[in-house]
Structure 1
Amino acid sequence: MDAPVDTTRPVIACGEVRTWLLPSFRPLAAQEAARLLLLRADERVLVSERPNLYALSPDTLTGVDCRLPTSNGARVRVVGTVAARASLTEGRVVQATAYFRAPATGPAARQPWGHYLVRPGVLEPLGKLPEQAVAQGVLAGGRPGELDLGLIADGLLTRLRQHPLLHKNTRVPFKSRRTSLRWVALPAPDGQGPSIERFTLAEDDLRTVRLRVPRDTEPSAVAGLCEDFALHDWLLTTVVRMIDGKLVPVEGQAALKALRPAVEHLLHLWMPRARVDRTLAPLWDVLEQESGFTRQWRTLSQRIRDQLALLQTIGSLPEAPLHRDGAAESRLGTAS
């Protein structure tokens, strides 16, 4: 006889990551990053300086009572809390993530808030949860009145932008755009490891990823993996746009002005898997095979360095004096 299914275990985790250039002309130091991300007085900010400067806020909770997006139009009401957190990489790139996990079934009726507050980051359905329809609905984006994780993440970014540290320092060293990554994680078959079922680059700077992970994987670890994906996708997207049309032809100071921000602020940030959970780190290899993030990044980085070397070489060459008619004078002299 089969063992009874534990309907309280999560069968899906979903989240959305917003990645953006911190609105500050200079990068924040470690102590400043900790001050910026102190979202709760009862928990400290985690700060790491190896292999690069990284700060992670404690989770905040947002209570919700609404419908989940579904691909088939099913009306699925959930109640509980969405977890949200922010991170800062090298004092320069800020990310906000909102995420939750949900079980296969929940109470038939809404419970007092105390029931949900002791289950942080969990949304319980009233009845059964159609996880496949929810997974597709979350990735596609919801309708008005349905849960919007991106809106919660944006609210966290707005809160950070209003911090006194940034209030008088909102200029940025270069222009960039915000990107979004929506993700869903479903349980992998017993005995199998994590996998990427689909990774897409959609319009309007939206990316989506559908994962399979072992049943006991913490949603915070999945969120960390997706934050790493989102960070490096933002870096690649930003550098591609920054140098678009600037490498050829050589335009002297104009080209130097366009390429300099990439070298000063971005090229040293490329460190995939630096803080990804070990059980999920192999998924970077899958992403590399499909999308070739690092291959493209290395190619772009080398082109930028070659272009700057060429500009430096050209700038060091003496200019040939001109005749009155504009023709260059021969440096070899005239035969007598």
Structure 2
Amino acid sequence: MAPRQSTPRAVLACGEVRTTLLPARQALDIRSAAGLLALRADERVLLSERPGLYARSPATLTGVDCPLPSANGARIRAVGTVTAHAALTEGRVLQTSAHCSLPATGPDQRRPWGEYLVRPGVVEPLGKLPHEAVARGVLDGPRRGDLDVGLIADGLLTRLLRHPLLDQRAPFRSRPTRLRWAALPAAPGEGPSLERFTLAEDELRTVRLRVPEDTAATDLATLCDDLALHDWLLTTVVRMLDGVRLGATAAEDPGAAVRALRPAVDHLLHLWMPGARVSRELAPLWAPLEERPGFTRQWQAMVQRIRDQLTLHTVQAVHREAEPAP
């Protein structure tokens, strides 16, 4: 069997992101973040302090040999490697992400593992890839036994959450979210576009993209990490506000609203920086989300609401202290 000379162009990239609050009472400093994310001894953790503290682990590879998910029920076997990494934002929000690219065609027979290992993050079908059907299958959710990059992201997350650096004392309650994405080729000459962003059940979000052929899968993964981070921030702060009966609480327990909303001020409000680490070519994909549903508008409205409530309770506290004793 002669070795292949090159890999056909990718016609589908897909991945999944897990986002959660780091279970630690104090946010990790940059040195501790590097220790948490040191997944490989032969490669350093990427650290950045601008525009905010950010740490990203080296990539890891997981070999796969299984059928691909498909909306039309076709059973397409694929072999290759899935790339995974983890990231920590401001020492507080942990994400794990797994993704791969799939070419239009692959060999008719499985090749030796060495040929797949030299193409990290590429999963090749045996034969032709019905990429539209597979993209729908990825977003709908794989069946048992199908390629499931979410399981790889979840496994990495479980590993990191057991790290001895973490005291398992999160400063407030929150829920993890999952973002599942698929990117298909854009029409010749067209730029990237976000076709659909969906909030599904069980904390799941799905994203369908169209991108030019030469778009790097790592850039797509970074974009989707960014979308997942900001969606998690919105979701978490919305739930904080929903859990506070702002009007009734002031009379029953004047300090309850402050205690409920303070974690947002201490840990979350300064994290809102959409697109800060997204490539220039993919940065325009934030625009549809800013127009509808309006991520930043909603965030700014919630931030103002929190500040107004804290100001109101401060004024009321001062007023109560100033009242003469009966």
When normalised by structure 1's length, the TM-score is 0.92
The residue number in structure 2 matching 1:215 is 213
Q: Does 1:196 align with 2:200?
A: no
The residue number in structure 1 matching 2:3 is none
Superposition deviation, residue 7 in structure 1? 7.2
CA–CA separation in structure 2 for the residues paired with 1:313 and 1:90: 31
Letter in 1 for 2:199: L
The residue number in structure 1 matching 2:247 is 248
Superposition deviation, residue 174 in structure 1? 0.2
The residue number in structure 2 matching 1:177 is 175
Which ranges of structure 2 fall in alignment gaps of 5 or more residues?
A: 1-5
CA–CA separation in structure 1 for the residues paired with 2:19 and 2:269: 17
The residue number in structure 2 matching 1:114 is 114
Matching of residues 232-243 of structure 1 within 5 Å: 232-243=230-241
Q: Which has the larger radius of gyration?
A: 1
Residues 37 and 87 in structure 1, CA contact (< 8 A), matched pair in contact too: yes
Superposition deviation, residue 153 in structure 1? 0.5
Out of 313, 317, 323, which is 1:319 matched to? 323
Letter in 2 for 1:152: I
CA–CA separation in structure 2 for the residues paired with 1:58 and 1:7: 24
Superposition deviation, residue 250 in structure 1? 4.2
Superposition deviation, residue 214 in structure 1? 1.1
CA–CA separation in structure 2 for the residues paired with 1:305 and 1:290: 25
CA–CA separation in structure 2 for the residues paired with 1:209 and 1:95: 17
The residue number in structure 1 matching 2:271 is 269
The 3-state SS of whatever aligns with 2:259 is helix
Matching of residues 71-82 of structure 1 within 5 Å: 71-82=71-82
When normalised by structure 2's length, the TM-score is 0.95
Q: Percent identity?
A: 67
CA–CA separation in structure 2 for the residues paired with 1:278 and 1:88: 22
Runs of 4+ in 1 over 6 A off after TM superposition: none
The residue number in structure 1 matching 2:293 is 291
CA–CA separation in structure 1 for the residues paired with 2:292 and 2:262: 30
* Matched residues, number: 315
Residues 139 and 208 in structure 1, CA contact (< 8 A), matched pair in contact too: yes
Superposition deviation, residue 264 in structure 1? 0.4
CA–CA separation in structure 1 for the residues paired with 2:318 and 2:307: 17
Q: Deviations over 1:29-62 (max 9, x none)?
A: 0011111111111111110000100001111000
Letter in 1 for 2:51: P
Out of 172, 186, 204, which is 1:206 matched to? 204
RMSD: 1.1
Superposition deviation, residue 148 in structure 1? 1.3
